Amino acid sequence: MTARRTTVVLFGATGDLSRRKLLPGLLHLFQTGLLEDVQIIGTSLEEHTTDSFREFAAEAVHEYSGDDGDTDSWPEFSERLHWAPGAEGAAGLRAAVEKAEADWDGSDVVRLHYLSVPPKAALAVVRTLDEADLARGARIVMEKPFGVDLESARDLNAKLHEVFTESQIYRIDHFLGKEAAQNILAFRFANGLFEPIWHRNNIDHIQIDVPEELGLAQRASFYESTGAYRDMVVTHLFQVLAFTAMEPPTDLSPVAINAEKNKVFRSLVPIEPSEVVRGQYDGYRDIDGVAPESETETFIALKCHIDNWRWAGVPFYLRTGKRMAESARIISIAFKEPPRSMFPKNSGVGDHGPDHLTFDLADRARMSLSFYGKRPGPGMRLDKLSMQFAMTDTGWAGSVLEAYERLIYDAARGDHTLFTDSEGIERLWEVSAPLLQDPPVIRPYRQGSWGPNQIHQLVSPYAWRLPFERAWRDPNAMGA
């Protein structure tokens, strides 16, 4: 299914996100035919012309589009790039859009406004769109964060709704655009083997773990006003939690899926500060733009609870941070161990913890199911084994869209499935209030570690799943 004629107005068109993700992604969507009939108007406060913007875009796509053949379409794609000088305001923007659409008859056109701008600039862009008469019937893609607390989120939503209806707003979370995240829905609800056991009777605890190796040298001024909880947990990890914990929707429509996600958010117990560990990596306060006595967390781990029939008593552990040992995006489901073991002492059963189902949400899109099996030979000696699946093992790998590509395509089609709504966002800030009002002390941690030592007390009597004791298998390696 291809989208209709689409005009993409890209605010912040010369920024880092546009250079690395948005412009290469739009080229790929054009090359694949998913957004074949598209015009793109870039705008920012930088001084550019259409020609210089095309030169900027050419450098971006040749650097970040890889070797998949997308750049073969560059000559035709470049003719669809236009520039609207930010200094000319609403009138200049309107003129640029009309010029780009001059060859269309004005019917069946989707206008998609992508706000790749700092949060403080978002409402100014919304006012410009209103003044330019480009809001009516259009769609607007908003980048995180969506407020910094309940009051600011409500205020932001109220001002957005003065210009756009909720159905026109697409609050983007690139985590949910990943193929592996959507695979959770397929895995849970399409398989009779797993759907019945996705329940407190069978699941012991769940971990959602998103450590990052990157630091904050380029984002410190932004991060000082947000921190890891606002930047990552509210906007990303809670959304992944909802996909993991939601009840079966009546169908796969955006309305049905969002309804079930919001039920999860309504069932979330307010975050208890005593069940949170906040950390800051050594050297963060030495970065330009960071206060000498900064109390901003670059790491956070928390225990949260969903108070409903399915998940009562099952703890969810969330962890994310900067400058950690490795970058990963893992959901780990720990199953309950058998109530009684008939296996002899020293057989190995229980030595390696419970059985786990693991989703790797990184671009490689992998899943693993671990279990105990008998070691060949005399006696009853058990070892931990695993079955693994990777998207690269299939013939589908070339069909995978990068997260931003999928989300742009879905917004152009009017599909809200992978986007968050105002109700869900406001509820998440509501459950966050106890933590934001009384945050626990900041703990230092070494760069390249897994966070402050206090995380082990938080997860006790369990253990963090990362780092893995066993590496993912490479099916292409010798002997695999």
* 319 marked among binding-site residues: no
Q: Binding residue per annotation — 231?
A: yes
Is 355 known to sit in a ligand binding site?
A: no
Residue 145 Cα distances to 17, 129, 232, 339, 464, angstroms: 15, 20, 9, 44, 28
Residue 13, marked binder? yes
The answer to whether 382 and 343 have CB atoms below 8 angstroms apart is yes
192 annotated to a ligand binding site = no
User: Which SS3 state, helix, strand or coil, does residue 412 take?
Assistant: helix
Length of the chain: 480
User: What does the alpha-carbon distance between residue 206 and residue 90 come to, in Å, rounded to a whole number?
Assistant: 49
Q: How far is CA 299 from CA 142, 206, 315, 323, 391, in A?
A: 25, 19, 20, 9, 30
Annotated ligand binding at 174? The verdict is: yes
Q: 302 - beta bridge partners? A: 276, 318
Give the residue among 3, 128, 140 at the shortest CA–CA distance from 419.
140
Contacts of 161 (CB under 8 A, 6+ apart): 422
Does the annotation flag 48 for ligand binding?
A: no
Annotation-wise, does 178 bind a ligand?
Answer: yes
Region label for 66, one of left (φ > 0), alpha (ψ between -120 and 50) or beta (otherwise): left
112 is in an annotated binding site: no
Tell me the pairing of strands 330-335 and 299-304. unpaired
Ligand-binding annotation for 16, yes or no, is: yes
CA angle (336, 312, 256) in 5-degree steps: 105
**Is 99 within any annotated ligand binding site?**
no
Asked if residue 212 belongs to a known ligand binding site, the reply is yes
Residue 82 annotated as part of some ligand binding site:
no
Catalytic positions: 236
305 labelled binding-site residue: no
Binding residues: 12-19, 144, 174, 178, 212, 231, 322
Binding residues for NADP(+): 12-19, 144
Binding residues for substrate: 174, 178, 212, 231, 322
